[in-house]
Structure 1
Amino acid sequence: MIHFDLKGAVSVADRLKLAMLPPDRRRRLLNTVMRQAVDDAKANLKAQRGPDGKPWPKRKKGRKKMLGKLGKSLVSHANADEGTAEWKNKLAGQTAFKHQYGLPEIYTKAKARRRSNSAKEAADQNGPATRHQARLLKQLGYSITVGKRVKRTRQPGIAWIRKNLSFEQAGQTLKMLIAEKRNQRRGKSSWEIQVPARPFLEIDKQRVLNALAAELNRRG
């Protein structure tokens, strides 16, 4: 979830104009601005660029597009003073927030296992994991949590991995397990993965001013 304060997008003089509008008209104004911002964000996600038109940092490996599916579930809400861009899926919202601002992520062995379990529950749109990926995962000790009442871990076989993990999910899980093994050798129980900023959502101040002018000129 990403919040935007309408007052922070305009000058002090324009804030006085905003204060003249009743709450329902401020909400209508912000709804208009947020819908435009969401449309722009979806276009940026598709084009792999920031609001300034500059391309995002590339993947370290591979050419597959980043965050390609985030735009599908992106919606906006607004009240009289604040707009919100959010995702129906909580994990998608966390991913979007992390990439929007380029936040580091701290991983532990338990978190890596939880993330891999969440990955296998996601919809598979990218094709199954390869046999080579499955073998590497087994060699690195990939495990899953099973059981409803009594939780335990087990190491799945190659067939299970290929059936339940996509190529992309297996690749991300391999990265986490490799990083885990590397840091275990260094005596670390946790490690940090730096995520470069890939902004895509921004309030266009000129559109805010245009919408404000249109609302002030509206009769009633």
Structure 2
Amino acid sequence: MQLSIKPNAKQALNLKQQMQLLALPANKRIRLLKTLGRQQRAKARKRIQAQKTVTGETFTPRASGKKGKMLKKLGRTLEPYVKNAKRLELKHKNVLTGRIAALQQGGGSEKMTASRMARIHGKPDYKAPCSRSQAKALRAEGYKVKRGKGNRYRRASIKEIMATLSHGKAGFILQKLRNKTVKTNWQIPVQARPFLGDNAQAVQRDLAKILQQLNR
């Protein structure tokens, strides 16, 4: 994901500033655009710190309900790059980080696979004891055990489920009770949280100020 800025002399620069911009040697144009890039990066980092979008709205909360600040790492790796002394690109050096940032910026959906989930969170120990969350889910689905001898059944307690089922077994039973097949891939919706960018007029005003400082 990247923010591209190409100076537009017609928006906020007066005639004298337009001439100054055109007359700048390549090294000064690079300095100007780099400075502008650092300013834009600082604004993006402040928005992430405040958990606000470019328009000042609060970031959409996580679908899971989990608290804590979002996108913290995305602001740290933003870097300004200048191409041909004419174009500023504010982007992430790491391609994967850039894709994640683009998804957060514009929203959309992310494909998740079982293998990728394992890489992120580690492969589950299916022989480990059933977790409390699994036990609660099983009980909510009506999981039952035999009541003594015969064919009578009763609902199992959370403590009992945790003591008798492994992680893998509990997951298997839960899938059966929910009548679900094991998915190998699925889509995760991602809400837009635009933190990078600025309106054209603000960018050009910043550009004019930097140009003035360069010509002092």
TM-score normalised by the chain length of structure 1: 0.58
Structure 1: runs of 5 or more not aligned: 121-130, 140-156, 159-177
8 A Cα contact 2:12 2:208, kept in partner? no
Sort the Cα spacing of 1:184 and 1:10 in 2 relative to 1 into closer, same or farther, 3 A.
farther
SS in 2 for 1:65: coil
1:198 counterpart residue number: 193
CA RMSD of aligned residues (A): 4.0
Sort the Cα spacing of 1:184 and 1:25 in 2 relative to 1 into closer, same or farther, 3 A.
farther
- Measured in 2, the distance between the counterparts of 1:182 and 1:22 equals 69
8 A Cα contact 2:11 2:204, kept in partner? no
1:66 counterpart residue number: 70
- Measured in 1, the distance between the counterparts of 2:23 and 2:29 equals 9
- Measured in 2, the distance between the counterparts of 1:119 and 1:90 equals 21
Identity %: 27
- 1:41 positional shift: 0.9
Mark the structure with the bigger radius of gyration. 2
Alignment of 1:82-97 (within 5 A): 82-97=87-102
SS in 2 for 1:69: helix
- 1:200 positional shift: 0.7
Structure 2: runs of 5 or more not aligned: 123-129, 139-165, 168-174
Which range is displaced more, 93-102 or 199-208?
Answer: 199-208
- 1:54 positional shift: 1.0
1:101 counterpart residue number: 106
Sort the Cα spacing of 1:182 and 1:55 in 2 relative to 1 into closer, same or farther, 3 A.
farther
Q: Give the one of 63, 67, 76 matched to 2:80.
A: 76
Count of residue pairs the alignment pairs up: 166
- Measured in 1, the distance between the counterparts of 2:79 and 2:213 equals 28
8 A Cα contact 1:45 1:71, kept in partner? yes
Sort the Cα spacing of 1:76 and 1:135 in 2 relative to 1 into closer, same or farther, 3 A.
farther
- Measured in 2, the distance between the counterparts of 1:81 and 1:119 equals 43
Alignment of 1:26-175 (within 5 A): 26-60=29-63, 61-79=65-83, 80-107=85-112, 111-120=113-122, 132=131
- Measured in 1, the distance between the counterparts of 2:118 and 2:9 equals 43
8 A Cα contact 1:10 1:209, kept in partner? no
Sort the Cα spacing of 1:20 and 1:94 in 2 relative to 1 into closer, same or farther, 3 A.
same
- 1:4 positional shift: 0.8
- 1:190 positional shift: 5.1
- Measured in 2, the distance between the counterparts of 1:200 and 1:30 equals 20
- 1:65 positional shift: 2.0
